[in-house]
């Protein structure tokens, strides 16, 4: 599903962010991306989103070399990917329903499909009763649930989560991880960058550790060993 082949990334200031990275992630896997700050996790994610290009090497998504995707085609490519951020990135002037519906409008879904799909996804994340509320009326955990609903409303093949529990208390973080795990069990591939040691160690998923731009460990049922 996702494959990095001999991928290198050197930024203009001669900082080598990734060095000879070879990784394969299969459909339906749940992968934690871990490592110290500055190790290369963000570069890995930005390459998957085609925000930046590798200096050399190849990245494939479902057999398609991302280098073959033209700039004008990038928005269509990204429709296959859901993205969840640490800071939620909700639109403050839209209510819960409208924030999720916005993601469907971007892909030109019909009004009928939006009316059918949005309530289903809000039910999945446990926010059916708060569909009229605005982001500033919600707790951090509720805002992240809206963010997740928005990320999955278009049935993405891959959900990329960048520190999704970073701004949440431990109990709320557990609830969010249960939700993400359920999404994975329904068939969506999960790639999650995190510093949350307790979550990684408790969930016992595949762990890909990046250190100084290289793959230091790639373990099934891996652990988080860094002290950040």
pLDDT of residue 13: 86
pLDDT of residue 29: 97
Distances, alpha carbon 21 to alpha carbons 45, 72, 140, 183, 215, in Å: 13, 27, 35, 27, 6
Checking if the pLDDT of 228 tops 60, the result is no
Average pLDDT over residues 107-125: 95
**For residue range 166-213, what is the model confidence (pLDDT) as tens digits?**
989 999 999 999 999 999 999 999 999 999 999 999 999 999 999 999
Is the CB of residue 157 less than 8 Å from the CB of residue 40? no
> Which residues are CB-neighbours of 78 under 8 A, at least 6 positions away?
49, 50
Domain with CATH 3.40.50.300 in the chain: 1-80+157-228
Average pLDDT over residues 109-135: 96
Cα(187)–Cα(51) distance, integer angstroms: 25
Residue 56's pLDDT band, with cuts at 50, 70 and 90, is very high
**For residue range 117-128, what is the model confidence (pLDDT) as tens digits?**
999 999 999 999
Is the CB of residue 84 less than 8 Å from the CB of residue 160? yes
Over the chain, what is the mean pLDDT? Answer: 94
pTM of the model: 0.93
pLDDT of residue 217: 95
Residue 86's pLDDT band, with cuts at 50, 70 and 90, is confident
What are the DSSP calls for 122-155, one per residue?
HHHTT-GGGTT--GGGS-HHHHHHHHHHHHHTT-
Fold (CATH) for 1-80+157-228? Rossmann fold (3.40.50)
Average pLDDT over residues 13-39: 94
Is the CB of residue 152 less than 8 Å from the CB of residue 184? no
């Amino acid at each position: 599903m996702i494959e990095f082949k001999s991928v290198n990334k050197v930024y203009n200031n001669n900082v080598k962010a990734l060095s000879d990275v070879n990784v394969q992630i299969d459909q339906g896997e749940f992968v934690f991306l871990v490592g110290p700050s500055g190790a290369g996790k963000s570069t890995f994610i930005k390459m998957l989103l085609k925000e930046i290009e590798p200096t050399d090497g190849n990245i494939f998504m479902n057999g398609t070399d991302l280098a073959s995707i033209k700039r004008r085609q990038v928005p269509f490519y990204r429709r296959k990917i859901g993205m969840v951020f640490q800071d939620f990135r909700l639109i403050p002037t839209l209510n819960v329903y409208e924030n999720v519906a916005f993601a469907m409008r971007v892909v030109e879904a019909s009004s009928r499909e939006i009316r059918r799909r949005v309530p289903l996804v809000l039910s999945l994340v446990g926010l059916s009763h708060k569909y009229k509320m605005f982001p500033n009326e919600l707790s951090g955990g509720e805002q992240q649930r809206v963010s997740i609903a928005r990320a999955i409303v278009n049935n993405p093949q891959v959900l990329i989560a960048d520190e999704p529990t970073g701004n949440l208390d431990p109990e709320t973080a557990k609830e969010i991880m249960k939700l993400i795990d359920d999404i994975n069990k329904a068939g969506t591939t999960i790639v999650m960058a995190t510093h949350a040691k307790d979550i990684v160690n408790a969930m016992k998923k595949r762990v890909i550790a990046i250190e100084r731009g290289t793959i230091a460990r790639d373990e099934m049922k891996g652990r988080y060993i860094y002290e950040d």
